[in-house]
Structure 1
């Protein structure tokens, strides 16, 4: 057994312990800060004081913001139009795990069989706990960058997310979407395209931006072979189209099921005449004011400032990678007689952070960040950054090659992570 393999196994064991400790710390801080006054008392109306104080202590702080929608959808299905902004993945997981937990406690036959909010929240928290993506990130980083130390550093940095509550405790989309995205990316790195497509399709059941994950299939099966001048079999193109279609299916089904409800009646909804008829875009624009530059108002300046660290880090590392790694490869593929200078420090082999295989991650991170910056609620980057391994590769890049800025990132991650827990439990923005 090689030293690298022994070191990798040791890293994985440490990361597992650290992940559990991080979860316990997040839960403890959430429980403690839940004693602070609430800005909005809605959770008290839905979850009245119960006899089981430990259950209330653990569950009550979780019912905030989007969790209201997920819990309501889980109990009753889609009732209101605006609930179609949320996909069915999280409600299904909450309900399934809550039903399993019910098997371990007696149920009064006279009791209403509809799952209660505390059962659904507990089920969601248990499901979120099982979706730790730290070790998957380690294996993904090790595959791409070939350095156990870099993989270990990036994975440790992932234990300092910018939204620890939504990633570790709350039955929102983040823990499930992040885990499935990481697994799919790892399968892509290993050339296991069918498994990757399955993971990405499941991720698409939780968030609409899951459709962007299809880019990893397209890049790995079609674009990368073109850049490296590999021979592509005649079946590769139709196979990649099928796998990509599978990834798009959850989003398409979400729109189609809404179309059947709202557009096949005597008085169809306004969005039914749109091309294409998408309820998702309609409710996002109508109820959340989502659209190009709609968020760019003086009132939203605090949200831009809060989200500034990841908004600055991700495009910076993406631009650095595209300039020093991807563009030289593209030039070399288009001009076959041109070869990179071995003494050039900008060649892809000069740094593990310029590994050729992370090109789709750089492109994906740049597109998603710019989308959130210009056409969404920008502070959502604080919750979505964890779903991109590129975030923690960028943080590791700062620590290794720009140590001063790397220390600033770690300091901000620790401070903001703690502050965000308090803001969440007291029902204060950013959501």
Structure 2
């Protein structure tokens, strides 16, 4: 008969693996919603299922729950279910402290709503309401982080031994976890830049390189997007819930309809203004599809490089996390820290697109080898307490 500890371990493994499967499902749905390309979304989802940090998603670790709540929350946010999204994103902050950064997506969505209300609808009070609501929802996402800090402060600084207060208790902003990382683990800006840490920088270099490539790639596509169509049209397309693309390949035809915010209400009105806005939104959606053409008209492969405005908050988030991982954290943690960031897999899926050849095909092999090698390497190092991440 199994003992309590054995049941606890088995339950943890089952919970984590079920959460990871659910996270993968949300990853696919989110990718289809953002990329408007079921083929690219499928390839990205497969890569996510076999990502280099897979050992953390199948063992007793918080990564699976964080990915589930983050990806699920983002899917519901950009699908229009803001309350569900707010709760799930807050839960992501309960699983991991960096989940609090997901509040930035709510801020982005609130800014879109406020812009539409103030500029397009000429309703400044609606804009204020959107901003206030966005602020409150963002604050809610931060609640688990604040609760943890308050719990530590009350137990150690208030109800603890007042004669031997820890230094962080006297700080203007007492942050327990930040003090532990800095004091005991040596976490801080450039503090990990030491010759003896070169092996760890090499260990993290594939993840960081792929992250930087993703940032550069989508930054270029966003630049092309802003040149081809106005930001105003893009915002109308998103807020009206009409950023729709019919993407066809040899055997796939996908038409994705994204209903965000006021689209359903406006359809009921049927007035001339709404029809005009829908027309503008449709043209913006068409312009948002970058057909792999560069500014000189050169065609890169046969597949389309999709980059709607909704990619922007993902790139900003990934940029901040990559900077933090390289300059502040223990750099080897990058493999795990960045493993739930969608743009990394979106960019990699572009490289692995069947129609691409030449250098893209070679880089595709490197990506596959990297993913497989790190799954095996992590399975050896992590259980034996080596610094895999």
TM-score (norm 2): 0.74
From 345, 349, 365, the counterpart of 2:293:
345
- Work out whether residues 292 and 304 of structure 2, in 8 Å CA contact, stay in contact via their aligned partners in 1: no
Residue number in structure 1 paired with 2:41: 151
How far the C-alpha of 1:230 sits from its partner, in A, is 4.6
Map 1:126-145 onto structure 2 (within 5 A): 126-131=14-19, 132=21, 133-145=23-35
Partner of 1:296: 193
Measure how far apart 1:118 and its partner are. 3.0
Relative to structure 1, the CA distance from residue 254 to residue 230 in structure 2 (aligned partners, 3 Å threshold; closer, same or farther) is farther
- Distance in 1 separating the partners of 2:115 and 2:304: 24
Mapped partners of 1:303, 1:404: distance in 2: 26
Shift of residue 426, structure 1, vs aligned partner: 2.8
Partner residue of 1:207 out of 91, 96, 120: 96
Query: Which has the larger displacement, 116-125 or 188-197?
Result: 116-125
For structure 1, the 5+ residue unaligned runs are: 1-51, 56-106, 108-115
| Equivalent residue, structure 2, for 1:424 | 382
- What secondary structure does 1:397 align onto? helix
Paired residue for 2:347, among 390, 394, 398? 394
Q: What are the residue-to-residue correspondences of 1:68-217 with 2, within 5 Å? A: 116-131=4-19, 132=21, 133-168=23-58, 170-217=59-106
Residue in structure 2 matched with residue 407 of structure 1 by the alignment: 365
Q: Could you tell me which residue of structure 1 aligns to residue 241 of structure 2?
A: none
Range with greater deviation from structure 2 (120-129 or 273-282): 120-129
Q: Report the CA distance between 1:307 and its aligned residue.
A: 1.1
Q: Which runs of 5+ in 2 are unaligned?
A: 235-283, 296-302
Deviating runs (4+, > 4 A) in structure 1?
A: 227-232, 339-344
1:287 aligns with 2:184: yes
Cα distance, 1:319–1:288 mapped onto 2, change above 3 Å = same
Structure 1 position 291, deviation (Å): 0.5
Find the aligned partners of 1:230 and 1:185 in 2 and give their Cα distance.
25
**Per the alignment, do residues 225 and 359 of structure 1 end up closer, same or farther by CA in structure 2, a change over 3 Å counting?**
farther
Deviation of 1:343 (Å): 9.4
Partner of 1:372: 325
Query: Alpha-carbon deviation of 1:165?
Result: 1.6
Specify which of 135, 138, 154 is matched with residue 241 of structure 1.
Answer: 135
Provide the rounded CA distance (Å) in 1 between the counterparts of 2:292 and 2:331. Answer: 38
Stretch deviating more after TM superposition (180-189 or 158-167): 158-167
Pick closer, same or farther for the CA change 1:197–1:216 going to 2, 3 Å: same
* Aligned 8 A contact 1:211 1:248 in 2: yes
Partner Cα distance (2:65, 2:183) in 1: 27
Q: How is 1:241-280 mapped onto 2 (pairs within 5 angstroms)?
A: 241-264=135-158, 265=160, 266-267=162-163, 268-280=165-177
Count of residues paired in the alignment: 314
Cα RMSD (Å) of the superposition? 2.8
Q: What secondary structure is seen at the aligned counterpart in 2 of 1:204? A: helix
SS of equivalent to 1:276: coil
CA distance in 1, matches of 2:43, 2:76: 22
| Structure 1 residues 322-333: aligned runs within 5 Å | 322-326=219-223, 328-329=225-226, 332-333=230-231
Deviation at residue 427 of structure 1 after TM alignment: 2.8
